[in-house]
Structure 1
Amino acid sequence: MLALNIKNETSRLRAVVLGIAKSNGGIPKVADCYDPKSIQHVLAGTYPEESAMIVEMEAVAVILKKYDVQVFRPNIIENYNQIFSRDIAFVIQDKFVKANILPDRDQEIEAIHSVISKINPANIIKLPEECHVEGGDVMPWNEYIFVGTYSGEDYAEYITARTNVAAVQAITALFPERIVKSFELRKHNTIATENALHLDCCFQPIGRDKAILHKNGFLVEKEYEWLLNYFGKDNVFEIDKEEMFSMNSNIFSISEEVIISEKKFTRLNTWLRGNGFIVEEVAYAEIAKQEGLLRCSTMPLVRD
């Protein structure tokens, strides 16, 4: 059995589900895209090729295994995008919470049955149907659970709005001993630089007391300022609109000291090393064209 344990984003990683790019399904039609960045690349003829994405993901698998992390992969569904394993479920403490994601993607959870079968059934939670949530919006951080959401009355009009208030309330009820703090995210269906698809597209805690942050990803300035004050300005790496678009906040922590990052994030990677982090660089720019990066394609199961 898998003894699930996730209390934060950065404790030493022991087991993870890494998505898979094989049999990805080719270039989607614009009408079938879930985010503005994918649409942009489909229209420009620059949508990533499967072969390039396979190489990028396997490089991450090599690094995870280098650090003795147990790596699980989904079973391959023919012609189906299974890269972003973070979306389909998330672990908090010893609970495995199935996400209610876009209906077109519901096969993805079935493809990790081999993982789910190793979990105590009492610890597997399916939220009520009215709760919309994806793992990219959910961040356990010690006594807190940070959740990205959108509560506007026009929620249904945004395909980019992935976690609703009902889900925030359900998570609050599930983990009464934690402080659930939600953040309103800026949503846009067609302009990627104005869209925070998930909380991890504009924010991520790193190390013990630091964070990456993008102000414009937050609809409510005082919520952004709360994070800035909580971590402290000297501990925050602020990214600009282009760095947000390139997914600079979507790196992935193997431990409090070791981070996997995109090799083109030169400003960020220099700052990380200057703050004592070990940075394992990979090429991930092709996968980033789908508005997701390293955190999006990993689902941590066990951390120390």
Structure 2
Amino acid sequence: MALTANSAKIDYSLVSVPEEGGIKFERITEDADAVSSVFPAKKSIFKFGGSKGNKVDWWVNPQIAITPDGKRLAYINNKNGTTNVMVKDARRGGSSVQRTFRTNVRDFTLSPDGSTICFTEWRSGHYGIYLVDAVQGNVVRQVSNGTDNDFAGQITKDNNHIYFHRGEGYGAYSLWSWDRKNNLFSNYSRGMTPVLDPRNPDVVYCARFTDKNESEIWRLNLNTGVEELILGLPERSFTTPQLSPNGQWLLVTGTSRSEKHKDLNTDIFVVRTDGTQLTQLTFHPGNDLSAIWAPDGKSIYFVSERGTAKKGLYNVWQMDFNL
């Protein structure tokens, strides 16, 4: 987890830092919930969002979700080396209920109606996408076939399609969809972690690597073929876009450098869907990532190292959003 030699000086127990003044943070999970970061942000040999030898690599796929009524929060739990989706009250406190009974769940999303969990599992030497009922959590349906590496499935509002990305090596990802009615797969364009626009079924937001292994945020129209760059900065990376309920903002995880510790880490940002008003929301020297919107758009849930006894411990936190 250490990004540089100075990381040991970071006080991870801090709930907030001065740059976050005025923002209310509330921890939703406890250390006993064993929230998994799956592959935590760490120093990397890859130039993913780094510069001049100081680089950071992180798992960009979705790690948490919230039910449409905003009452239940889902996250990935790591217990004895086994990772599964758990669900608990979105307010602090209360026990968690296990919803997948697998061994290596690596990412997941909820369907728009909250009825289905779409998850990725490492199984038999590759990553595959599976479906399971969000309430019963019993019968599992396999989506991926063969030995392809598929990730970050997103179920459409009408429940007829699943959009996802397929990996073809480091930095090489393409967007695909699966038609649930006729079992047909379709390939579209470069990109990863697709996010659908419920107002326009042809529009997808995603992240893309540049030829320098830096990640940008793009908007694609799968019908017209129009592709628009929304967010990209030299020697920076932004991933894991999430569209706000009102369709005006994108939440992203991005690289940031702590002014005090001079370390590169991940923080939470927002940007308008027209690419303007990029705003950094979190500044903690620990890692903040995998942010999602509350259904009313007035708060944000995210995975963070803040408020913990030591580096490498993660919990789910909630913060206000007032822009």
Q: For this structure pair, what is the TM-score category when the shorter chain's length is used for normalisation? A: 0.3 to 0.5
The structure number with the bigger radius of gyration is 2
TM-score of the superposed pair, with normalisation by structure 1: 0.40
Of Structure 1 and Structure 2, the greater strand share is in 2
Q: Structure 1 or 2: larger helix share?
A: 1
TM-score under structure 2 length normalisation: 0.38
